[in-house]
Amino acid sequence: MLELYTDRLRLRSLRADDWDNFLMLHQDPIINQFVRRPLEESVIFAKFEYRLAPWQYESGDWLTLVIEEIGTDMFIGYTGLYCVNHDCGHAEVGYMLANEGQGKGYATEGLKAVIDWACLSFQVHKFIGLCAKDNIASAKVLEKNGFQLEGVLRDNYKIDDTWIDDCTYGLLSHERGE
């Protein structure tokens, strides 16, 4: 089981007893407003079971890490990454926080831990982050970790009848911490 620590957070591998929190995050319409319509429970459960499987970087699957507050074990949310292109060393990062964990710098802190760990563990050349153009909080998390806006993918996906523009951010491994 993978565990990463920061001053305030523990990031750990997803476990079977995380189901209730996983379901809650994926069904909350506010948390998902920039991601997708909340999914049906059966679809969420299939995604959950898939992510419980042992993870390997080269698999192209998401590594899902639970974010917990040290001392209280309070559930904060999830962060993680997946290998987009092993040959080029590209990895996409992501995060999703419960309402109680937002606005406290937890996403920024957790993402930094994932990036630092990935740089030590794999030959990641570039990290990629995507967020809806209107998701200002998510963009700030990326920018605070040194990501630079590389472009906007216009009408990149649809939620109900609304087309959403995606901002594409990039961070080269040697730029982290600058």
Across the chain, mean pLDDT equals: 94
Identify whether the C-beta of residue 88 lies closer than 8 Å to the C-beta of residue 127: no
DSSP state of 142: H
Residue ranges and CATH numbers for the domains of the chain are 3-175 (3.40.630.30)
Check residue 178 and give its pLDDT.
54
pTM: 0.93
* The two structure tokens encoding residue 84: 């987009």
Q: Is the model more confident about 32 or about 23? A: 23
At 29, the pLDDT band (50, 70, 90 cuts) reads confident
How many residues are recorded in the chain?
178
Question: For the segment 121-176, what is each residue's pLDDT rounded down to a tens digit?
Answer: 998 999 999 999 999 999 999 999 999 999 999 999 998 899 999 999 999 999 98
Tell me the torsion sign for CA atoms 15, 21, 23, 28: negative
